[in-house]
Structure 1
């Protein structure tokens, strides 16, 4: 049981500002040196494969156990909005920076969105990989579950689990296992996506932990989101290995619109969001969303999301002045003290020393030692609460305003065009100082020639990669189609055999009934002949008399 210490936002903020004076600030990168995000795969099409199987379940019962898993699966994401948003991510301070304003995803906000019926302020620790399949097999009551693993044994193929799900629907008394299969699918394809159509063993481990130990997965979802955003901001491309639907809902909750999107029962009515997307955001592309977000917070900005409730906020763990999080693939830190006014408190200067350096993956050798320290840190939690429910408007201290004006911004510059280069990559070409116009022209010509060659090489490599990717995708689709068809044929064959066996039984029964009826008919004929002979005998006897 963790030891909890509580402060008001003013008490904690004053102590934080005193500590910051002696500690200084953590390192913060210059966002203008980071690449603009250009290649983004949100991986949100998998949700359709889940919704097909969730039409006939008892949603009230499902929500009592798994919160808003089904509702988050129904959200359609605008990819340009997410792509633009990532460009404002600060990978060191783990927040979005819009001018002089910082916004960050928080454990409490994600908890309100998902409404998991488990305690929020508990950290997730991954299950040992060798225990995942046996434990999952028990929960789903599917023997030999390992036969559904993909070739590299890194995850379970959802198409095979879908067949089992269809069988569970037909079996009486299998409602619990059916709901668990649907929840597992959402864990692996929506909350913690990996490869298309594959539920990673890490996502399956998170599901098993929720079922067996009732650990709320929110901290793991948040950790994977931070790790994914950091990767994107530093590389400028990749696939979203986090819950994009949650990130999108969080984002639009802080943008004011002409028509209100959210109400007290907004989870059950997403029509207002779709109307705003069509009427106000329909014409916005990548550039439009970049421009819209760059204008925050001067216009169309909301500090607090409309659905935020008054709750205690976790700001630090153990000896750390921030919160360490554990995901399914790694660990990362974040500093909720940066964004206290998002949850209705008074903003003070945060402590940020050590935030940027605390991040890693489980494949690293030092991960086990780090996990042990995180476990110790989470045994002592520091929470803050609002001073009064009447403080509706978020505010900040005088010291914070001065500090934030001196802190370098993490907001990016606008890319040149949708498809053009977003920045000049410094490579082997070093710019030399030139003394006259002739040297300058010669250097420019050499640079243009080398640039042209690089573009040709790049185009050739991209074409080769695209052809290879197309061939690989086509072969994989053919193999998957064949495997699925074989399974469906085997299922149909087994059903046909069962029908034939039942028909044979009915045929045998009919033959026995026919034989019995024939015997009874023969007996009736014999009785009738005896009766006829007796009648003739009696008639002859009567005539003689």
Structure 2
């Protein structure tokens, strides 16, 4: 039996997303096509509105013992295949799962490679947040707006999406863990397994205590949720159908 809380206090606070959306809207078709070729249609996540009430309900129906949503006779859980489809990234290979390697470049060196900026500039931007090295989103935003290299602008923009939308652990900053994952995308690894693992972890943590901050990709989870329900008179999740899903 699921033990559901009468009221779940859950926060899905995310900052700076409107700034990412403004940058995206200012780009011409040429830059957007470069983004699509390199990273898929990841930008659609910027348009997914996070519904706090829906997240509260989802958390209440999460069964942390078995890691799925359960309601009556219906059990639902995001799969690797579904999240791979929703990420829409042509570079990743499903059989190359991300794992952190022991010997990697330093945070500073990887930032230099991704941004194309000098060592003094990068060193001046790095901050310490707890036990993690970070770079403020403001520094990356300013760089996206003025960087002369279009490919670097796209890379920095995508790195910002992975931090601010998919893994918003340190609000307003890009941390070392996300930089490592993003750096490995060039090796065509898939980040889906770690996204799912962290999603399950935070859903379970919030469900057990009845409150908390969901700090994984809320937009991606809601895009998955909406994909399993019909639209009736432009209203989501009114009629459930086992035979229908845009994910197919």
TM-score band by shorter chain is 0.7 to 0.9
Q: CA deviation at 1:197?
A: 0.7
Deviation at 1:45, TM superposition (A): 4.1
Give the total of aligned pairs.
239
Per-residue deviation, 1:147: 2.5
1:147 is aligned to: 124
In the alignment, the residues of structure 2 paired with residue 106 and residue 39 of structure 1 have an alpha-carbon distance, to the nearest angstrom, of 26
The reply to whether residue 164 of structure 1 matches residue 143 of structure 2 is yes
CA displacement 1:409-456 (0-9 Å, x = unmatched)? xxxxxxxxxxxxxxxxxxxxxxxxxxxxxxxxxxxxxxxxxxxxxxxx
- Give the alignment partner of residue 103 of structure 1, picking from 55, 73, 76: 76
Q: Give the corresponding residue for 2:112.
A: 137
User: Do 2:62 and 2:207's aligned partners in 1 also have CA atoms closer than 8 Å?
Assistant: yes
1:255: which partner in 2? 229
Are the aligned partners of 1:37 and 1:232 in contact in 2 as well (CA < 8 Å)?
no
8 Å Cα contact 1:254/1:304 also seen in 2: no
1:28-47 matches, within 5 Å, as: 30-32=1-3, 35-36=5-6, 38-47=8-17
* Larger deviation, residues 174-183 vs 237-246: 237-246
Deviations 1:374-410 (A, max 9, x none): xxxxxxxxxxxxxxxxxxxxxxxxxxxxxxxxxxxxx
Q: Which residue of 1 is the match for residue 245 of structure 2?
A: 306
CA apart distance, 1:66: 0.5
The CA RMSD over aligned residues, in Å, is 2.2
- Contact 2:83–2:192, Cα closer than 8 Å, also in 1: yes
Contact map agreement 1:148 1:161 (CA 8 A) in 2? no
Task: Check the 8 A contact 2:93/2:189 in 1, yes or no.
Answer: yes
Query: What secondary structure is seen at the aligned counterpart in 1 of 2:106?
Result: helix
* Larger radius of gyration between Structure 1 and Structure 2: 1
2:56 to 56, 73, 83: 83
Deviations 1:306-360 (A, max 9, x none): 3233xxxxxxxxxxxxxxxxxxxxxxxxxxxxxxxxxxxxxxxxxxxxxxxxxxx
Call closer, same or farther: CA 1:221–1:146 in 2, change over 3 Å: farther
User: Deviations 1:80-116 (Å, cap 9, x if unpaired)?
Assistant: 1111111111112111011122110011111111211
Query: Distance in 2 between the 1:37 and 1:134 partners?
Result: 46
- What is the CA distance between 1:304 and its match in structure 2? 4.9
* Structure 1 residue 175: Cα displacement: 0.4
Rounded Cα–Cα distance in structure 2 between residues aligned with 1:305 and 1:196 = 37
Are the counterparts in 2 of residues 228 and 240 from structure 1 also a CA contact under 8 Å? yes
Distance 1:237 1:123, change over 3 A: same
> Structure 1 length as normaliser, TM-score?
0.41
- SS across alignment from 1:248: helix
Give, in whole Å, the separation in 1 of the partners of 2:52 and 2:178.
23
> Where does structure 2 lack aligned partners over 5 or more consecutive residues?
none
SS in 1 for 2:245: coil
> Which structure exhibits the higher relative contact order, with contacts defined as CA atoms closer than 8 Å and separated by 6 or more residues?
2
Structure 1: gaps of 5 or more residues: 1-29, 260-274, 278-291, 293-298, 310-545
Q: After the TM superposition, which residues 115-514 of structure 1 pair with which residues of structure 2 at under 5 Å, given as runs?
A: 115-117=88-90, 118-128=92-102, 131-144=106-119, 145-152=122-129, 153-168=132-147, 171=148, 174-211=149-186, 213-259=187-233, 275-276=234-235, 300-309=239-248
Whether contact under 8 Å (1:127, 1:209) holds in the other structure is no
8 Å contact from structure 1 (residues 188, 203) kept in 2 = yes
**Counterparts in 2 of 1:305 and 1:76: CA distance versus 1, 3 Å:** farther
CA contact (8 A) 1:68 1:115 kept: yes
Partner residue in 1 for 2:20? 50
Instruction: Give the SS at the match of 1:154.
Output: strand
Contact 1:206–1:217 (8 Å) recurs in 2: yes
